[in-house]
Chain A
Amino acid sequence: MSIQVRAVSKAFGDFKAIDGVSFDIPTGELVALLGPSGSGKTTLLRLIAGLESLGPGCGSIRYYEEDMAGQPVRKRRVGFVFQHYALFRHMSVFENVAFGLRVLPRDKRPTRRQVRDRVHELLALVQLEGLAGRYPSQLSGGQRQRVALARALAVQPRVLLLDEPFGALDARVRAELRQWIRRLHDELHITSVFVTHDQEEALEVADRVVVMNRGRVEQIGAPGEVYHAPRTEFVMNFLGQVNTFQGRGVGRDIQFADITIPSSDLRERSGDVRVFVRPHEFEINATRNGKPAFGATVLRIHAAGAVARLDLQLPDGSLITAELPQDRLAELAAAHGDRVFVSPRRVHVF
């Protein structure tokens, strides 16, 4: 384990930013800290880096079994990439990347030639060879981001920490850069943690996702695991679209929208429950086919895209969204105002 976070808490005044968080980051993995704003993910990242101080009795953070308590940031050998890059504005790209090497203690400091070779090697890695002489103000957002990354990698950090690395970029650059970061990680295998509020980003890039909410960890797992088997309502809601129904638990069955189906975990329940169904977990038919199904009226069909999206209205007036493959939509041949039958393939109850 490169990094162990154990029972870490951090408060700012009365506000508990982090509340008893524990998790491990295995060596060489790319981990996402995912959560809405105010969930404490950035504070946690800064605690790991040492940019926020961890109070006594507020848990521990270990790097490779070594307790980091009282270790100042500059001794931790972390690579930190700031959301707004924090490049040194008065230095050229070359000098920015070289900074970490030039401030090493005299006995470890590389020679001028070694510095030059290393900087050019890093600039090649981030595909900015020709821009060594430019100043940060002359670069685009994506280029600045890559300079910040090269600068952080120059000191051969034990762990790379990235705060909302794609947050300040426009959508297209974002998509490119996150694939590029993933490939870079596969090349370098440096233990990395990045913070994001974008679930798509986390699920696409990370090996492992730590979902956070209100200073606590909601769930930790591989992207597929947190998406398909969410353990809490929050994770269900936060990762992807979901339809919510008011229902009732009766033994191992769940009743909602005038159907009764067995709950997927077969646990005994009674009383009111909230039922969650993802849009792609509905089956839609023009007629009843024997499966438990409820009636609905088609309000709108969004046919553009890989899957078609249907806005449906239930008899009680509530709205749901369903997604189905284009060929299923063609078979269904539904139009605005048609009555269809909806049967959930899978329901989630917590």
Chain B
Amino acid sequence: MAGGTTINIASLGRAAPPALRDVPLVRWLLTAVALAFLGLFLLMPLAVILAEALRDGIGAYLASFDDPDALAAIKLTLVTAAIAVPVNVAFGVCAAWAITKFRFPGRALLVTLIDLPFAVSPVVAGLIFVLVFGLQGWLGPWLSELDVRIIFAAPGIVLATLFITFPFVARELIPLMEEQGVEEEQAAMTLGAGGWTIFRRVTLPNIRWALLYGVILCNARAMGEFGAVSVVSGHIRGKTNTLPLHVEILYNEYSFVAAFATASLLGVLAIVTLVLKSLVEHRVRRRIERAAAGEGVS
């Protein structure tokens, strides 16, 4: 019996290497391709931005931000994000809550509609707002009577950004809340908790990491959106320029240092976003592992 076992193991040992022999080569090759691709398309552009921005020295770099138009662009971008992110957090939580905790007619349609901003080109999204709120648009005449400007003004930029970024929070929450089900909420109900208490003390703590993740992505997009905002902005310097639009204008005017310096701000935003994102992912993974290890205790 023991002899037979030994032979089996030995033959297994002999059989294994040929099957595994290709693997290191494939692994190296795939890693090299992936790294080369990353370097070429992601790291190099970032490096170019920094190099170009600092070409005339740190003084010229900092001087680019002394321009009132640049400061106005930074301010408008921050204001836009400060409005779009909280509104979309509220909307995303409501939509995810409705979709995952209740069954109602039109539920599938709502799920599909949430994806709409991902499905249409940002330029089209911008045009929609021009067609609705522009001077020649449906609501244009009425709005101009009231002396309200939406298109080619800050409100249009905020609206376009809201539209573009509204899937981010909802899409992060829906799968998680779907998986968690409604039993904990029902348990809270039987214990006498009201709707708001249930949300605050049961639902929200369970979704907080996914929510934060959605907020980070939503914020990055709100600050970086170009296409839709470009259509509705009108590119009025110091008034309706966001950071990405400002970069484009500077570049088209051959102010390369200023253009790249401004772009470097967006680059820093991207890096901060990635760092935050991986921190959140790390936290979530640790929690899941801890939970899994906990299951093992039983």
The interface of chain A, by Cβ under 8 A from chain B, is: 49, 51, 72-80, 82, 84, 86-91, 99-100, 103-104, 135-141, 143, 148, 151-152, 154-155
Which of under 10, 10 to 19, 20 to 34, or 35 or more describes the interface residues of B? Answer: 20 to 34
Establish whether residues B183 and A84, one from each chain, have CB atoms under 8 Å apart when the complex forms. Answer: yes
Establish whether residues B191 and A155, one from each chain, have CB atoms under 8 Å apart when the complex forms. Answer: yes
7 shortest A-B CB distances, which residue pairs?
A137-B294, A140-B298, A86-B183, A100-B191, A80-B190, A138-B294, A86-B187
Tell me whether B290 is interfacial, beta carbon within 8 Å: yes
Q: Mark B143-159, 1 if CB is under 8 A from A, else 0.
A: 00000000000000000
Q: Mark B178-204, 1 if CB is under 8 A from A, else 0.
A: 000001101111111110010001100
Question: What is the chain B residue whose CB lies nearest that of A82?
Answer: B183
By a CB distance below 8 angstroms, the chain A residues around B188 are 88, 99, 103
State A89–B187 Cα separation when bound (angstroms).
12
State A154–B183 Cα separation when bound (angstroms).
18
By a CB distance below 8 angstroms, the chain B residues around A138 are 294, 297
Tell me whether B205 is interfacial, beta carbon within 8 Å: yes
Tell me whether B10 is interfacial, beta carbon within 8 Å: no
Establish whether residues A80 and B187, one from each chain, have CB atoms under 8 Å apart when the complex forms. Answer: yes
By a CB distance below 8 angstroms, the chain A residues around B66 are none
Establish whether residues A51 and B190, one from each chain, have CB atoms under 8 Å apart when the complex forms. Answer: yes
By a CB distance below 8 angstroms, the chain B residues around A75 are 192
Q: A74-B190, A80-B186, A100-B191 are in contact. List 11 more A-B contacts (CB 8 A).
A: A75-B192, A86-B184, A88-B184, A89-B206, A91-B205, A104-B192, A137-B290, A137-B294, A138-B297, A139-B298, A155-B192
By a CB distance below 8 angstroms, the chain A residues around B253 are none
Establish whether residues A137 and B197, one from each chain, have CB atoms under 8 Å apart when the complex forms. Answer: no
The interface of chain B, by Cβ under 8 A from chain A, is: 183-184, 186-194, 197, 201-202, 205-206, 290-291, 294-295, 297-298
A187 to chain B, nearest CB (A): 22
By a CB distance below 8 angstroms, the chain B residues around A151 are 187, 191
Question: What is the chain B residue whose CB lies nearest that of A173?
Answer: B298
Question: What is the chain A residue whose CB lies nearest that of B193?
Answer: A103
* Interchain residue pairs with CB less than 8 A apart (16): A49-B190, A51-B189, A72-B189, A73-B189, A76-B190, A80-B190, A82-B186, A89-B291, A90-B205, A99-B193, A103-B197, A140-B298, A151-B187, A152-B191, A155-B191, A155-B192
By a CB distance below 8 angstroms, the chain A residues around B201 are 99, 103
State A79–B201 Cα separation when bound (angstroms).
19
Task: Kindly name the residue among A84, A88, A155 whose own CB sees the greatest number of chain B CB atoms within 10 A.
Answer: A88
Establish whether residues B186 and A135, one from each chain, have CB atoms under 8 Å apart when the complex forms. Answer: no
State A137–B190 Cα separation when bound (angstroms).
22
By a CB distance below 8 angstroms, the chain B residues around A84 are 183
Establish whether residues A90 and B191, one from each chain, have CB atoms under 8 Å apart when the complex forms. Answer: no
Question: What is the chain A residue whose CB lies nearest that of B186?
Answer: A51
Establish whether residues B190 and A88, one from each chain, have CB atoms under 8 Å apart when the complex forms. Answer: no
State A155–B298 Cα separation when bound (angstroms).
28
A312 to chain B, nearest CB (A): 42
State A139–B295 Cα separation when bound (angstroms).
7
| Given A88-B202, A138-B297; A103-B192 close (CB under 8 Å) | yes
State A144–B190 Cα separation when bound (angstroms).
18
Question: What is the chain B residue whose CB lies nearest that of A105?
Answer: B192
State A104–B220 Cα separation when bound (angstroms).
41
By a CB distance below 8 angstroms, the chain A residues around B291 are 89, 137
By a CB distance below 8 angstroms, the chain B residues around A49 are 190
By a CB distance below 8 angstroms, the chain A residues around B295 are 137
B102 to chain A, nearest CB (A): 13
Question: What is the chain A residue whose CB lies nearest that of B204?
Answer: A90
| Given A86-B187, A88-B184, A88-B202; A140-B297 close (CB under 8 Å) | yes
By a CB distance below 8 angstroms, the chain B residues around A103 are 188, 191-194, 197, 201
By a CB distance below 8 angstroms, the chain A residues around B190 are 49, 51, 73-74, 76, 78-80, 152
Establish whether residues A139 and B297, one from each chain, have CB atoms under 8 Å apart when the complex forms. Answer: yes
Question: What is the chain A residue whose CB lies nearest that of B187?
Answer: A86
